Structure 1
Amino acid sequence: MLDWEQLNSVCSNCQSCELGRTRTNVVIGRGNTEAPILFVGEGPGENEDVQGLPFVGAAGQLLDTLLDALMFKPHEYYIANVVKCRPPNNRVPLEEEAEKCLPYLRNQVALIRPQIIVCLGSTAARYVIARDAKITQIRGQWIERKGYWIMPAFHPAALLRDQSKKALLFSDIKAVRDKLLSITGKED
């Protein structure tokens, strides 16, 4: 297992797939590296590629607003993606691209040791939960695996396209808040 400095260096120099050759910046993550919650998205978009941080575009702003509304504190979460480089035109990462990045995500999980992992969208669910996972069928359901509580939820970008998913995402992230409180037994 790599420490954070080694992981950042390896990711920053990664050329394992085509995404490494077309990125502006590698996007490793943001937040508390000892957080009890890990949010996992699909991959960087244009804004994330430019800034080198995940979830800073419109979907990220929506996620931040939701986390603020549910009174999550910044030290309670870390945000990462399945792939660390932007796929061209924000397309879904190819299987081979995701496979090349999965060891980095697994390393992040091992370093953070979260109690809860939130899979934001179908790509995260497919690579964290099961390859045949369908977000519309499993969202909102707790899955316990290898000592982690896993919650699949819609990706905030889905709300930008379909407002009817807003209440469902709010409900799922509220369930994450409730689970954290039940695990820790306190509000921070």
Structure 2
Amino acid sequence: MDSLATIEEEIKKCKKCDLWSTKRNYVPGDGSENADVVFIGEAPGREEDLQGKPFVGNAGKLLTEMIEKIGLTRKDVFIGNVLKCRPPNNRDPTPEEIEACSPYLIRQLEVIKPKVIVCLGRFSASFIFELFGLEFTNISRVRRKVFNVERWGKNVSIIALYHPAAILYRPQLREEYEKEFGVIKDLIGANKKEKKKIKNSTLLDYFD
């Protein structure tokens, strides 16, 4: 039977694409096997490659801050990437790399069975939307919507947000970003005054 630990051990032996030969550390993902919320980025960056943990650079610090603002900690959630190794010079993942590596993420999701999946950036959103049979055009068009699907015998909400690195480059978006994280809090039931489960609703439906 799969567990995050067994999947991590497999990842640390993986040579399914050439990235294993250029990385310093595998970055399997980090967090709780019982997480209600999973955050998924595209690939590890420089700091993640050095430490072997996801989202630990400046973008990771912002993500951690946003998670804590909604009353959670990194230990309460699961944080991972579509790719488990850093592409050289932080280039975009190739389709071949995604095809080789993404089965690990799929298995991690099957173990966790989250209530909410948060896609951080376009590569993550494109992959997750296709996986769950949702139409993806671009991150700007889907990022203000909540998509609800049936999986693992329950409703699963999927949200696409900008990657936190994009917020560092465009700090004027930060206030809106915080509101979008507030929606995550509502979706997992932390805020009991909001229980809306509207199929393909917009994030504005969740704002006071």
TM-score using structure 1 length = 0.91
Q: Which residue of 1 aligns with 2:8?
A: 8
Query: Which runs of structure 2 are paired with 1:102-121 in the superposition (5 Å)?
Result: 102-121=102-121
SS in structure 1 opposite 2:72? coil
- The answer to whether the aligner puts 1:134 opposite 2:138 as a matched pair is yes
SS in structure 1 opposite 2:53? coil
Q: CA deviation at 1:152?
A: 0.6
Q: Which residue of 2 aligns with 1:33?
A: 33
Q: Is the 8 A contact 2:64 2:74 kept in 1?
A: no
Q: Give 2:66's aligned amino acid.
A: L
- The answer to whether the aligner puts 1:165 opposite 2:169 as a matched pair is no
Q: Which residue of 1 aligns with 2:206?
A: none
Q: CA deviation at 1:167?
A: 2.4
Q: Is the 8 A contact 1:135 1:152 kept in 2?
A: yes
Q: Is the 8 A contact 1:122 1:133 kept in 2?
A: no
Equivalent of 1:149 in 139, 152, 157:
157
CA distance in 2, matches of 1:120, 1:73: 17
Mean Cα deviation higher: 150-159 or 124-133: 124-133
How many equivalent residue pairs?
A: 185
- Structure with bigger helix share is 1
Tell me, which stretches of 5 or more residues in structure 1 are unaligned?
A: none
Query: Which runs of structure 2 are paired with 1:11-90 in the superposition (5 Å)?
Result: 11-90=11-90
SS in structure 1 opposite 2:85? coil
TM-score using structure 2 length = 0.83
Q: Deviations over 1:133-155 (max 9, x none)?
A: 31111102111123321011111
CA distance in 2, matches of 1:166, 1:88: 29
CA distance in 2, matches of 1:15, 1:93: 16
SS in structure 1 opposite 2:158? strand
SS in structure 1 opposite 2:34? coil
Mean Cα deviation higher: 49-58 or 14-23: 14-23
RMSD of Structure 2 on Structure 1 (CA): 1.9
1:116 and 1:15, CA in 2 relative to 1: closer, same or farther beyond 3 A? Answer: same
Q: Give 1:133's aligned amino acid.
A: T
SS in structure 2 opposite 1:133? coil
CA distance in 2, matches of 1:80, 1:70: 19
Q: Give 1:160's aligned amino acid.
A: L
Q: Deviations over 1:26-61 (max 9, x none)?
A: 101111111100000111001000100000000000
Q: Give 1:146's aligned amino acid.
A: E
Q: CA deviation at 1:132?
A: 4.1
Tell me, which stretches of 5 or more residues in structure 2 are unaligned?
A: 194-208
